[in-house]
Each structure stands twice: as C-alpha cells, then as structure tokens.
Amino acid sequence: MNYLFTSESVSEGHPDKVSDQISDALLDQFLAFDPNSKVAIETLVTTGQVVVAGEVKSSAYVDVQEVTRSVINKIGYTKAAYRFDGDSCGVLTAIHEQSDDINRGVDKEDKNEQGAGDQGMMFGYACKDTDNYMPLSLELSHFILLELAAIRREGKEMTYLRPDSKSQVTIEYTEANEPVKVHTIVVSTQHDEFDDDEPMLAKIKEDVINILIPRVKALLPERVQALFGDDIIYHVNPTGKFVIGGPHGDTGLTGRKIIVDTYGGRGAHGGGAFSGKDPSKVDRSAAYASRHIAKNLVAAGIADEILVQLAYAIGVAEPVGVFVNTYGRKNVKISDGEIAEKVKTIFDLRPAAIEERLKLRNPIYVDSAAYGHMGRTPVTITKTFESPYNGKVTKELELFTWEKLDFVSEVKKAFGI
C-alpha cells in the first residue's frame, strides 16, 4: 500500500532562521580574520530585541551590532511596522572566552590529533528521490520558500509579502519508496494588512497556486514536474491571517530548526544544531562529513538509500563508532556492517581531516543558515570582509563542499564496482 511522507521548511525571515543567520554571520566574521577561531554563538530574537551570547576564542574582534543589523536588514526586516527592524532593534551582547577545559581537548600539538569538540552522534543521509540525492518532500519545501523570497525581493507580484513564511509538502510514495505524486502543499506567508480578510485570503491562495507554484515547477526536472497533478490539496494561510510574524510574532532561537536544516525527517538526527559553531564542533563538521559520505555512496551505486552515523567522544580524534543503514536497498552483496568498515578505510574521519577535506575553516557558513545545509549546489564565490578593527580581506570560498561528488571513483574502487 502507498504511504504519505511530509517535510517542512521555513524562510529566512522565520524568527529561528533570523537567529541562525546572525550566529553564522558572526562566525564568518571571526573566521575571515582568524581561521583558527573557536566559536559557539547563540542568538535570541524577539520584538525589537536581539540577544547574542556564547563563547569565543579568537585574535579577531567583531562588531556584533554592525553584523547583526546588517543581517536583519538583508533578510528584509526594514520597516517599523514589522516591530523588528535592523536599524532600530536593540542588540545585547554576552560573549565570553571559551572554556579552557573544552579547549584543552581540542587543540593538540599534532593538529591531526585534534580532538572532537564534544561528544555526540551525527547522521548523514542520501537517497535517489532527487538529482541532489535529497528527500523530495524537503527539496520542494525549500524551493517553494526560495521562490517566495525571490518574488518578494523582485517586488513586481505578490507585493503584499513580508519576510516570514513556512511551507510543507506531502509526497505519496510506493512501498518501494518511489515518489508517485505531490499530495498536499501547505504555504503560510506573512503579509501586509488588508481591509477585508476574506478577499485577502482568496487572493493569496490564488497567487500561490497561479504564480508561485508554476515558478517552482520550472526549476524542476520533468520527472518531478510530472508529479504535480490537478488534484493537489492546498492549504494556504489556513488560519486566515498572518500579519503579525517574524520575531514580533514569535521568539526565535539559534538551532531550533535542525530537521529543516538536514533531511526533513528522513533518516535520523543526532540532536546537535549547526549555526554559530566553528568546525571543531563535530555537531557541525561530522554532520557535513556524514552527508558527504552518504551522498557519494549512493551516487556510486552502493545503495539507493543510505544513512551514515558517526559518533565521537570529546577530546578524542577517532570516532567511537561508524554505522551504516541501507534500509534493505543496497546494491552490493555485503552487509551494512561491512559497508561501514569500508567507509572507515575510504574517509579519514578525524576532526582535523574533515576540516581540511571539506575546507571548513573558512567563512562559508551564513550561506547555509537558511533553506537547508544539505542538498545545496557546490559553488565558488568571492567575498570581501571589512572591519574597523581588522581591516579588509577578500577571499575565494568554496561553498557546500560536503555536497561534492568527489569520492565516487574511490568508493567504486574500494567496493570493486
């Protein structure tokens, strides 16, 4: 019997994502001027107020207020009517030095023996739903909000849009885990005040179906476009009104959208958030490494669906465990345990090796802080960072290195494919 699976996404203007972007923008500033910075920054946003707290060890000095306001304005919170805007909100800072007790387990004389910044387990997942080896329900949820944000910034259609929004997509699958159709789409978008609520709701629903969804479909390959039938169930702003939103409508916190950030509920999640953390924190770096492994294994044909777990002890370089689950969908005649053993011979899983292989000691993180850390397209860009305290630096950066299919040939060789 077919089954339904659902994933959600939230926009860059969602209060939790505002917090994530502020935390990662501050991390990027530290890494731009001191690549060895140790950073763990949390952000809280609410009506007219931002609180930034955490631990930092760095030779760089960052103007927290300037960076925070710049992020908020770039997202689109630029009007007093939103009760939260970059130019007028308060910014409180409570950042102090990283604990020496933690640092002594991370910094080692031999860099290759750098210990994990904390204990924990991290998961990576990949499947053949999409060309990016991501669950289709999550990829469509992200695309809906990316296009909604693009429409808002263009300012030509749907001119009532405000920055906060959420999406949710339900896909019908066969028992063999093949997507059959798009079953339900939910879109809730913040909007300007209207004189009459009922015509407003009808207008927004009409625009979502006739303007937004066709733009999303145009981004998709034909095999995915074919899953959009005439019988899709739409729920658009189902409460009927969404004027009060963003940090004024709901307090936001860093790290509170970890399923949106990863696989939309597919696979598993170890519980650790990403944003605001430098790559010595394996919550982040090992989650990226496990995605890199899973994606390359699926692309190499080892299985049609794979979950990879890495687990670490604080201060210890080698992982305490490597686990692989192929959900009975493997294409090789060895056990999942044997696949895990081969993974350990192909990929160096020590934190320092992960940082080097994926080029993680670079200011690359704010670009990942909205619309998912996984399933993104690797790209090289040039960024300039300026600071009244540290000067100006221009860097060529590789974004989303963990999405590269650069180990496929090595995987095939190791598995004799």
Binding site membership for ATP: which residues? 14, 164-166, 241-242, 250, 256-257, 273, 277
Ramachandran quadrant class, 48 (left: phi over 0; alpha: psi -120 to 50; beta: rest): left
Binding site membership for L-methionine: which residues? 55, 98, 250, 281
Nearest one of 97, 99, 96, 76 to 86, comparing CA atoms:
76
Q: How many CA atoms lie within 13 A of 24 on its CB side?
A: 25
Residue carrying structure tokens 């899709």: 232
Task: Determine the 3-state secondary structure of 21 from DSSP.
Answer: helix
What residue spans of 208-309 are helical by DSSP H? 213-218, 222-225, 246-249, 258-261, 282-299
Distance separating alpha carbons of residues 43 and 342, to the nearest angstrom:
40
Distance separating alpha carbons of residues 112 and 133, to the nearest angstrom:
31
Q: Are 51 and 28 in contact (CB under 8 A)?
A: no
Distance separating alpha carbons of residues 7 and 184, to the nearest angstrom:
11
Distance separating alpha carbons of residues 255 and 54, to the nearest angstrom:
13
β pairing state of 90-97 and 49-57: parallel
Tokens standing for residue 42: 């949390």
Binding site membership for Mg(2+): which residues? 16
User: How distant, in Å, are the alpha carbons of 142, 326, 328, 338, 340 from that of 335?
Assistant: 34, 9, 10, 5, 9
Distance separating alpha carbons of residues 357 and 403, to the nearest angstrom:
12
Binding site membership: which residues? 14, 16, 42, 55, 98, 164-166, 241-242, 250, 256-257, 273, 277, 281
Give the containing element (helix H, strand E) for 197.
helix 197-207
Task: For residue 236, give the DSSP letter.
Answer: E
Q: Are 62 and 357 in contact (CB under 8 A)?
A: no
Binding site membership for K(+): which residues? 42
Distance separating alpha carbons of residues 341 and 414, to the nearest angstrom:
11
Distance separating alpha carbons of residues 247 and 83, to the nearest angstrom:
8
